[in-house]
């Protein structure tokens, strides 16, 4: 639920009226109104692009234009080229009025973007002209800390996940029907996982009389997100922190233990022998061909989608569950799972080129009021949702789209709830999007982890950022190459100490110092 934004949006009843291309309206009280037009740079979500050329096709923006009088001219970078397009745009100096982007990934961070004259500081503008988000930040100081830089700048109207339930959406997915057939319990420890995977390999759970089962598909990219298996040792594949001290997982002794286990499982045929070459299409085939026993995946695009696909192909029926985050000792609380920050760096910033920053702040603030919140989470009442006993229930236009659109594609015609934008995401969206019982159960299961070791969104300085990127680009390439070699047995585990020494020689200690300094500054905000 939305917290702290129960009031009506300020000025929503006073559209801006007649304006020039870049003109701004004036409210009936003589105060600044809304901008007449905004140029708005943002990537076009893939689900939205299935039904529209630009985001003016989204009903929420169409309704907002009626309420505010503000017309948007969207600029969408080519899909998959957002970072390059952003850098080219900034270098050219040809800036739109608003840039919606993942600012945590910008070289030098948002403070540098402000000092370079790309975007503007918003603190005073928000305090004076944005009552909705001001109320939100006052009631949730943890949000304010997250969107404030080390230099004290608020730089963005953020995408906020407004409930703990929205922060976890990925984990290990397991064939529940195979467990039931083999009379096995859901594994919790590494030893129990070894027992289950061995049974999947040797006891023909798919019942076709062939030894074609693939017990586990390892996905090292997702491991960096959900810490599958490696989290049992209390470390990650990257940087983590314990009581404010930053460490790098791959140089820890526990990482050697993780590699030993994965290498052993690979040698025993418990891990897909082609895991490194398995893309999304091959993964789909292995699941729907009734071969794959366990894999990492998302609550929607994996757990939900595969469950729906299996219903369409009964002969390949799969029954899936979200498996608990793994521990070493039975009964322990999992140390690490997947959990996002309420603010992940994405949001809308106002550029230096914007001639009407006050009016733009008022326009962006609309989304954090009650009306804007409902509009951008649920769309148009009576069309994409209806109120049932005080609950905004998506209609069949979304849940059972007559044109055959998926739920996410249908949602994207009406609102931004299924991806991101400058608003507070509502829990009631995910309760309906993840409507299957196994999805709801998976979220509850995956949420059960301590997760105190996860790093927050930190902001290295411009100098730190440049140096850090130089170090980590080479380290990440070497890391990926060597980890696969260790797991596949190409490189013996006895070479781990040399692996650590090489990482140290490549500058990992300096990268650690940069991360530590940035974390210290974050904790001092």
Mind listing the pLDDT tens digit for each residue in 231-284? 999 999 999 999 999 999 999 999 999 999 999 999 999 999 999 999 999 999
Beta bridge partners of 320: 175
Per-position DSSP letters for 163-231, written without gaps between them: SGGGS--EEEEEEHHHHHHTT-PPP-BHHHHHHHHHHHHHS-TT-SSSS--EEEE--HHHHHHH-TTGG
pLDDT for residue 31 is more than 90: no
- Label residue 7 by pLDDT band (50, 70, 90): very low
Angle value at C-alpha 74, between 69 and 78, nearest 5 degrees: 170
Give me the pLDDT at residue 436, please: 87
Confidence band, pLDDT 50/70/90 cuts, at residue 3 = very low
CA atoms of 47 and 27, how far apart (whole Å)? 36
Q: Would 478 be classed as within a structural domain?
A: no
Instruction: pLDDT band for 2, please (50, 70, 90 cuts).
Output: very low
Pairing label, strands 160-161, 157-158:
unpaired
Q: How far apart are CA 303 and CA 436, in angstroms?
A: 9
For residue 142, the enclosing domain spans 34-162+341-425
Q: What is the mean pLDDT of residues 487-501?
A: 98
Mean pLDDT across 214-236: 97
Specify the higher pLDDT residue, 2 or 140: 140
| Buried/exposed code over 34-50 (b: 16+ C-beta within 10 A; e: otherwise) | bbbbbbbbbbbbebbbe
Is 275:218 a contact under the CB 8 Å cutoff? Answer: yes
Tell whether 135 is covered by a domain. Answer: yes
Q: Is residue 155 part of a domain?
A: yes
Residue 313: is its pLDDT beyond 70? Answer: no
Whole-number average pLDDT of the chain: 92
- pLDDT on residue 459: 86
Q: Is residue 486 part of a domain?
A: no
Is 494 within the bounds of a domain? no
Q: How many CB atoms lie within 10 A of CB 276?
A: 14
- The answer to whether residue 384 sits within a structural domain is yes
- 383-426 pLDDT per residue, tens: 999 999 999 999 999 999 999 998 989 999 999 999 999 999 99
List, for residues 427-453, the tens digit of each pLDDT value.
999 999 988 899 999 999 999 999 999
CATH number of the domain to which 139 belongs: 3.40.190.10
Number of domains in the chain: 1
pLDDT band at 461 (very low <50, low <70, confident <90, very high): confident
Distance CA(501)–CA(498), nearest Å, equals 5
């Amino acid at each position: 639920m939305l917290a702290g934004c129960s009031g009506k949006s300020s000025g929503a009843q006073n559209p801006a009226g007649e304006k020039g291309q870049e003109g701004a309206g004036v409210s009936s009280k003589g105060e600044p109104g809304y901008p007449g037009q905004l140029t708005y740079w943002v990537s076009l979500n893939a689900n939205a692009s299935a039904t529209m050329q630009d985001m003016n096709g989204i009903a929420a923006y169409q309704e907002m234009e009626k309420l505010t009088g503000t017309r948007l001219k969207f600029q969408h970078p080519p899909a998959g080229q957002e970072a390059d397009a952003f850098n080219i745009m900034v270098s050219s100096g040809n800036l739109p009025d608003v840039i919606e982007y993942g600012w945590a990934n910008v070289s030098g961070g948002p403070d540098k973007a402000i000092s370079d004259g790309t975007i503007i500081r918003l603190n005073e503008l928000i305090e004076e002209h944005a009552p909705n988000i001001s109320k939100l930040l006052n009631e949730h100081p943890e949000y304010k800390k997250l969107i404030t830089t080390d230099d004290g700048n608020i730089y963005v109207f953020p995408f906020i996940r407004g409930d703990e339930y929205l922060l976890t959406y990925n984990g290990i997915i397991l064939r529940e029907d195979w467990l039931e057939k083999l009379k096995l319990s859901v594994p919790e420890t590494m030893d129990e996982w070894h027992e289950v995977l061995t049974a999947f390999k040797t006891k023909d759970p798919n019942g076709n009389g062939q030894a074609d089962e693939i017990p586990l598909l390892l996905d090292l990219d997702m491991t960096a997100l959900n810490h599958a298996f490696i989290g049992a040792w209390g470390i990650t594949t990257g940087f983590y922190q314990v009581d404010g001290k930053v460490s790098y997982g791959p140089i820890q002794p526990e990482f050697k233990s993780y590699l030993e286990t994965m290498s052993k499982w690979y040698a025993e045929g418990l891990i897909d022998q082609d895991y490194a070459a398995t893309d999304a299409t091959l993964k789909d085939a292995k699941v729907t061909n009734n071969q794959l026993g366990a894999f990492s995946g998302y609550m929607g695009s994996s757990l939900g989608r595969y469950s729906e696909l299996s219903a369409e192909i009964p002969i390949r029926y799969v029954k899936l569950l979200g498996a608990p985050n793994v521990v070493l000792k039975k009964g322990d609380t999992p140390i690490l799972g997947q959990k996002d920050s309420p603010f992940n760096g994405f949001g809308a910033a106002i550029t230096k080129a914007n001639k009407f920053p006050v009016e733009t702040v008022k326009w962006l603030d609309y989304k954090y009021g009650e009306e804007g919140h409902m509009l951008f989470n649920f769309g148009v009442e009576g069309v994409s949702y209806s109120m049932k006993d005080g609950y905004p229930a998506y209609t069949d236009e979304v849940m059972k789209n007559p044109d055959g659109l998926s739920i996410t594609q249908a949602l994207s015609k009406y609102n931004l709830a299924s991806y991101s934008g400058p608003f507070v995401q509502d829990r009631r969206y995910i309760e309906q999007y993840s409507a299957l019982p196994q999805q709801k159960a998976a979220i509850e299961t995956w949420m059960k982890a301590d997760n105190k070791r996860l790093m927050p969104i930190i902001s290295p300085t411009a100098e730190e950022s440049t140096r850090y990127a130089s170090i980590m680009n080479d380290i990440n390439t070497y890391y990926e190459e060597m980890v696969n070699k260790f797991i596949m047995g190409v490189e013996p585990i006895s070479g781990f100490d040399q692996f650590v020494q090489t990482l140290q020689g490549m500058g990992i200690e300096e990268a650690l110092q940069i991360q530590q300094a940035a974390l210290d500054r974050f904790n001092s905000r």
